[in-house]
Structure 1
Amino acid sequence: MNGMKDWFLLDPNMTFLNHGSFGACSKPVFENYQEWQRILENQPVQFMTDHVYSALNDSRIALCDFVGCDEDELIFFPNSTTAVTNVLYNLDLKSGDEVLMSNHEYGALVRAWTMYGKKMNVKIIQQEIPIPLTTEEKFIADFWKGVTLQTKVIFLSQITSSTALIFPVEKIIKMAKKRHILTIIDGAHIPAHMPLNIHELGCDFFTGACHKWLCGPKGSSFLFVKKEHQGWIKPLVVSWGKNGDDPTPSEFLQD
C-alpha cells in the first residue's frame, strides 16, 4: 500500500484521506492532462474549433462504457452540483408539487433545491433518516414515509457525502417508477468506488464525479439523461452549437 504513494504527487509527509472531496490525480493522469493543455496552447483557436468536440466524444464513449449507458445519454459537466442544477431548472413542476430527498444530501444541492422550491412554490421534503442505519428495509420504510400524492421527484444520493452511507437507490427507483415519480440520483461518489451500471439502476437522471475516486482531473463530471427525457432538457447556458432534432447526443454541440 505504501508504494501507491509513488503514483501520486501528494505531500509524502501527509496522509491524505479526503479523496471524496477532490481526489488526487495519479502522475500518469496529471501528465496526460498537462499534455492536452500544451496541445491547446500550441494552437488555441484551431484546437477549440477543429479538435475539442471529437476529443470530448472519444472521452464520452469510453466513459459510457465504464458507467453502463449509451453514448448519446451522457454529457460532461464541471461537477455534479452544476449537472443537477441544470436538471432541476428544466423541471416543469407546479405549485404544491413535492420533491423528496433524505436529510443526508449534499449541502450545495440542498440549497439549490431550496432556492428552486421557493421560486416555484414547490415543497422540498428532507425525510429524516436516523443513524446508525441498521437494514435496507428500515431505510426504505423510513424514506418512503415521505412519499405523498404530490411527490413528483425523488432526489437521492447513492453514497452520501457527509455521512458515507450507501442507500439502496435501485429499490427506491423501482418503487418510484410504479408511482410515476421522476428519479434523480446523486452518484458523485460512485465512479471507481463501487460497480456502476446506470441502465441496471433504471433512474431517469444520474450524475457522477470523475475527479474523486476515479482520480480524474478537477472539473470532470457527467450527467446521464434517459433518452425519453432528452427532448425537454435544455442547457442553462447556450453557446455556439447548432440546432438539431431531439433526442441527439446534444442539439447544442457541434458535429
Structure 2
Amino acid sequence: MKSQFLLNSEITYLNHGSFGACPKPIFENYQHWQLELEKEPVQFITKKSNDYLKQSKTALAKYIGCDAEDFFFTPNPTIAINTIMRSLHLQAGDEILSTNHEYGAMDKTWNFYCKKTGAKYIRQNISLPIVSKEQILKEFWSGYTSKTKVIFINQLSSCTALIFPVKEICDKAKELGLITIVDGAHVPGHIDLNIEELNPDFYTGTLHKWMLTPKGCSFLYVKKEFQNTIDPLVVSWGYESEIPNGNQFLEYHEYQGTRDISAFLTAPTAIQFLNDNNWKEKSAQCRKLILDNYESFCDLLNTKPICPVTEEFLGQMCSIPIQTESLVELKELLYNKYKIEIPVMKIEDKIFLRISINVYNSQEDLDKLRMAIIDIKATTDLLK
C-alpha cells in the first residue's frame, strides 16, 4: 500500500493522526474537480456545485450513519465548533462540561466564548492511567452541576489517543436534558461511526485524517431540532435566499460564495478506495501493530501505558509517556537526524510521544523509531 501514497519515501511517517495522508487515486480525483472548476468557474459555482455536493454528501451520509440533509462540509472541526459556539446563547455562569483531554484549539475556542459570555468551560480531570470505562464516566460526571448546560467531548483524544465512551455520555446527557457536542475529528475511517445510533446533538469529524481525502475536508452534523437555531459563521448568499430551496439550514451554511469545494467532492472516491482495499482488515492490522508495540515502547522509555492495552481504548494511535524537558528539541532531532515524522505532545504536566499507524506503515518503521530512541538515550540527555 505504501506505493499508493504521495508521502516522501525518505521519511518514516508515524504521524498520520495530525493531517492524514492522501492516496494517489483520491488526490487525482481532487485534481479532477479543481480542473473542472477552473475550466468553467461560473457554471461550476452557480449551476453545478449544488448537485455535486449532494452526490458527495449522499455517499458520506451512508458511511457515517446519518441523513445527508443533516450536515454540511467545513474545512476543519475548529470551524464547525466555532459555528456551534456562536449560536448557543449561554448565560453568565452556565457551564460547558468537558475534559482535560480535548484538542488545544477547542480549548481556545471555548475559552474565547466564555470570556465573551461569562459562561464557564469546565475541563474535568480524567486521571491517568485509565483503569476502566467506568472510571472515565465516574470522573467525568463528577464535574456535573446544576449549572451544566452543554457537554463537549472528543470521541478519540488527539493528545492521549484514547477512545472515550461517548455513547454512554450522550445517553446520560439526554436524560439530564443537556446539549451534546462531540468532536470526532479522528473517528471517520478509524473506528466505527454511526451518528444516528450515537445520538449527539452536534457532531464534527474529518475526512482528511483517517478517510484519506485531501486536506480541508470535514463536516458538521446538526440534529434536526437544532438546525434552525444555528447561525451561519459567515453570512453570504444563502442567508434569506432570494431563491429558497426549502432547507434554510443548508442554505445558510453551504452557500458561501467563491470557494474551492474540490476536497469536499472527493468523499465518494475516498469511500470507494477504502472499500476496494478491504479497509476493515487493513485497519485491524494497524491496530494490532499498536497493541503489539505499545508496552515495549513504554518499557524502553521507563514509563507505563496510560490505559489497558485493548481495542476498547486504542485504535491506530497510542501515546507513550516520556520524560523530557526538551520536547521541541526532541521532535526536531527525530526528524532531522533520524528522518522520523512523529509528534511530541504535552497536556498539562504530561508529555507523550504519539505513534499513528496507517497502511503504509510496518513493523520496520516502529523498529526504526525504537533504534532512534536507543541512540538518543545513549548519546544525549533529552530522554531521562
**Normalising by the residue count of structure 2, what TM-score does the alignment of the two structures yield?**
0.64
Contact between 1:191 and 1:208, CA under 8 Å: does it hold in 2? yes
| 1:8 matched residue in structure 2 | 5
- Asked whether 1:147 is paired with 2:140, we answer no
- Answer whether contact 2:152 2:182 (CA < 8 A) is retained: yes
Equivalent residue for 1:223, pick from 207, 220, 223 = 220
Give per-residue Cα distances to partners, 1:13-50, cap 9 Å, x unaligned. Answer: 21211111111110000011011111111111221111
CA distance in 1, matches of 2:226, 2:182: 15
Aligned partner of 1:93 in structure 2 is: 90
Distance in structure 1 (CA, Å) of the matches to 2:101 and 2:236? 35
Number of aligned positions between the proteins: 251
The answer as to whether partners of 2:228 and 2:249 remain within 8 angstroms in 1 is: no
CA distance in 2, matches of 1:245, 1:211: 29
Q: Within 5 Å, which residues of 2 pair with 1:76-225?
A: 76-225=73-222
Question: Which amino acid is 1:19 matched to?
Answer: H
- Structure 1 residue ranges, 4+ long, deviating more than 4 angstroms after superposition: 243-249
CA distance in 1, matches of 2:178, 2:227: 17
Distance 1:20 1:56 in 2: 26
Partner of 2:71: 74
Partner of 1:250: 250
Which amino acid letter does the alignment assign opposite residue 160 of structure 1? Answer: S
CA displacement at 1:246 relative to structure 2: 7.5
Counterpart contact for 1:153–1:182, Cα < 8 Å: yes
Alignment of 1:29 with 2:26, yes or no, is: yes
RMSD over aligned CA atoms reads 1.3
- Alignment partners' CA distance in 2, 1:38 and 1:178: 50
Distance across 2 between alignment mates of 1:233 and 1:246: 16
Q: Report if aligned partners of 2:125, 2:139 keep a CA contact under 8 Å in 1.
A: yes
Query: How much does 1:239 deviate?
Result: 1.3
1:249 and 1:8 mapped to 2: Cα distance? Answer: 37
* Distance change (3 Å), C-alpha of 1:245 and 1:88: farther
Q: In structure 1, the residue corresponding to 2:18 is in which secondary structure?
A: coil
Q: Of the two, which has the highest radius of gyration?
A: 2
Normalising by structure 1, we get a TM-score of: 0.95
Give the SS at the match of 1:230. helix
Distance (whole Å) between structure 1 residues aligned to residue 46 and residue 128 of structure 2: 51
Task: Report if aligned partners of 1:100, 1:151 keep a CA contact under 8 Å in 2.
Answer: yes
8 A Cα contact 1:73 1:227, kept in partner? yes
Whether 1:50 and 2:47 are equivalent positions in the alignment is yes
Maintained 8 Å contact 1:186/1:207? yes
**Identity in percent:** 50
The answer on whether the counterparts of 1:72 and 1:248 sit within 8 Å (CA) in structure 2 is: no
Tell me which moved more, 157-166 or 232-241. Answer: 232-241
2:57 equivalent in structure 1:
60
How far apart are residue 251 of structure 1 and its match? 3.1
